């Protein structure tokens, strides 16, 4: 609160050079509209994934095979009933007319009002809050399919929210692990030089020369056949982090090479601090703005890799949802042509990746003093 009032009261009075670098940074970031939009979109997406159990009307594996490929109801939500009378939002019930073609007929005799805070499938949020109250829903036997249903009659909207837990978190967890590896390896290579430098940089060269997706596949096929979902998740994160730290380490090494000649590092060494203390406490913090920018811009790589693996069938397995394995169902051109809503998870991947790119670009522009004008 104090920071904000300081900004608004003295914002125009303070000369530009009177501000700290981080104040300048935030000021530049806030002026970048696309970056802020990206930030808000990400907050919304991650919040909806975190509270997926609450926001989603059904559990990810709540299947009704009679309602296979039910079309989306988002545009079918009605405010006026048959007589044209205004009522609370409701949907009409549907009956399946042909199980083979998965066609449905609207049954206007059945009205299902959309209720808030209804009881339904049990869920938990981060394994701590357990509940069965959902944000919205309709009374049984009616069902609400905002984005349609898949082959098993599972709600696409609910599965997208649950899938986001996997697809969105893999990017963040993966980037944290690989950034730590990159910082430590790059820091050590730059600081110690010699054999440490030689070996780690050759390793980076191999990593960068590898066709990464193929190598991820090879690794994935080698580990964890018959593993549980959570094990597969961990394996995927580790594989992606193991592949991804190369570029980061190389640039950090370059920065450390010049930073370690600075007077303050020489002073720290003269005071007898240990090498690792100097690297971690004194040198690496100076690479922070670079690290944050590259980390943000690298998140899409992790999200897209998870999507690719799950799409190819070697990632998160059914019935657990991930944005990648939900798209697998759309691979059949006939299904895709008849039930195009199977592509909805793709829209979410696209939006999430775009938002990360917007935010990363904004952070880079804000961190780079050359773009001050």
To the nearest whole angstrom, how small is the minimum distance from the Cβ of residue 104 to other proteins?
20
Q: Which of 24, 238, 268, 354 forms a contact with other proteins (CB under 8 A)?
A: 354
C-alpha span between 108 and 99 (Å, rounded): 20
**Contacts with other proteins in 184-223 (CB under 8 A)?**
205-206, 208-214, 217-219, 221-223
Burial of 191 (0-12, 13-18, 19+ CB in 10 A): buried
Binding mask 146-185 for other proteins (x = CB under 8 A): ----------------------------------------
Told to check if 300 binds other proteins by CB under 8 A, we report yes
Told to check if 312 binds other proteins by CB under 8 A, we report yes
Strands (E), 247-309: none
What's the number of CA atoms in the CB half-sphere (13 Å) around residue 9? 6
SS3 89: strand
To the nearest whole angstrom, how small is the minimum distance from the Cβ of residue 5 to other proteins?
33
If the CB atoms of residues 44 and 218 are measured against other proteins, the closer one turns out to be 218
To the nearest whole angstrom, how small is the minimum distance from the Cβ of residue 303 to other proteins?
8
If the CB atoms of residues 203 and 257 are measured against other proteins, the closer one turns out to be 203
| Torsions phi, psi for 166 (to 5 deg) | -75, -60
To the nearest whole angstrom, how small is the minimum distance from the Cβ of residue 350 to other proteins?
5
If the CB atoms of residues 118 and 353 are measured against other proteins, the closer one turns out to be 353
C-alpha span between 179 and 169 (Å, rounded): 15
The candidate with the shortest Cα–Cα distance to 187, out of 176, 195, 196, is 196
The CA-CA-CA angle for residues 347, 351, 353, to 5°, reads 115
| Strand (E) or helix (H) holding 106 | strand 103-113
If the CB atoms of residues 94 and 322 are measured against other proteins, the closer one turns out to be 322
**Contacts with other proteins in 78-107 (CB under 8 A)?**
none
The candidate with the shortest Cα–Cα distance to 233, out of 321, 348, 331, 360, is 321
Which residues are at the interface with other proteins (CB under 8 A)? 205-206, 208-214, 217-219, 221-223, 225, 300, 304, 307-308, 311-312, 324, 327, 330-331, 333-334, 336-337, 340, 343, 346-347, 349-350, 353-354, 357-358
């Amino acid at each position: 609160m104090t920071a904000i009032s300081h900004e608004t009261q003295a914002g125009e009075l303070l000369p530009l050079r009177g501000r700290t670098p981080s104040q300048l940074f935030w000021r530049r970031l806030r002026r970048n509209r696309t970056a802020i939009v990206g930030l808000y979109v990400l907050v919304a997406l991650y919040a909806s994934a975190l509270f997926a159990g609450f926001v989603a009307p059904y559990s990810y594996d709540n299947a009704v095979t009679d309602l296979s490929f039910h079309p989306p109801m988002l545009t079918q939500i009605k405010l006026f009933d048959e007589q044209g009378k205004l009522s609370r939002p409701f949907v009409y019930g549907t009956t399946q007319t042909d199980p083979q073609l998965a066609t449905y007929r609207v049954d206007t005799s059945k009205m299902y009002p959309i209720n808030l805070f209804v009881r339904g499938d049990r869920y938990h949020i981060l394994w701590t809050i357990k509940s069965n109250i959902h944000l919205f829903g309709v009374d049984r036997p009616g069902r609400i399919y905002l984005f349609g249903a898949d082959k098993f009659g599972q709600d696409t909207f609910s599965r997208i929210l649950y899938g986001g837990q996997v697809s969105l978190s893999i990017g963040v967890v993966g980037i944290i692990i690989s950034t730590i590896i990159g910082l430590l390896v790059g820091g050590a290579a730059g600081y110690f030089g010699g054999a440490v430098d030689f070996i780690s940089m050759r390793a980076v060269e191999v990593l960068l020369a590898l066709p990464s997706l193929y190598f991820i596949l090879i690794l994935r096929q080698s580990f964890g056949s018959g593993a549980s979902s959570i094990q597969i998740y961990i394996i995927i994160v580790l594989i992606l982090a193991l592949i991804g730290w190369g570029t980061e380490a190389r640039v950090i090494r370059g920065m450390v090479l010049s930073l370690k000649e600075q007077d303050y590092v020489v002073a720290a060494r003269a005071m007898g601090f240990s090498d690792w203390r100097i690297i971690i406490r004194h040198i690496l913090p100076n690479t922070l703005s670079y690290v944050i920018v590259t980390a943000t811009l690298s998140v899409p790589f992790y999200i897209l890799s998870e999507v690719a693996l799950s799409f190819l069938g070697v990632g998160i397995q059914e019935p657990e949802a991930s944005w990648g394995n939900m798209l697998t169902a759309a691979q059949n051109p006939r299904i895709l042509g008849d039930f195009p809503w199977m592509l909805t998870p793709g829209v979410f991947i696209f939006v999430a990746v775009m938002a990360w790119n917007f935010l990363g670009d904004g952070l880079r522009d804000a961190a780079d003093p050359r773009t001050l004008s």
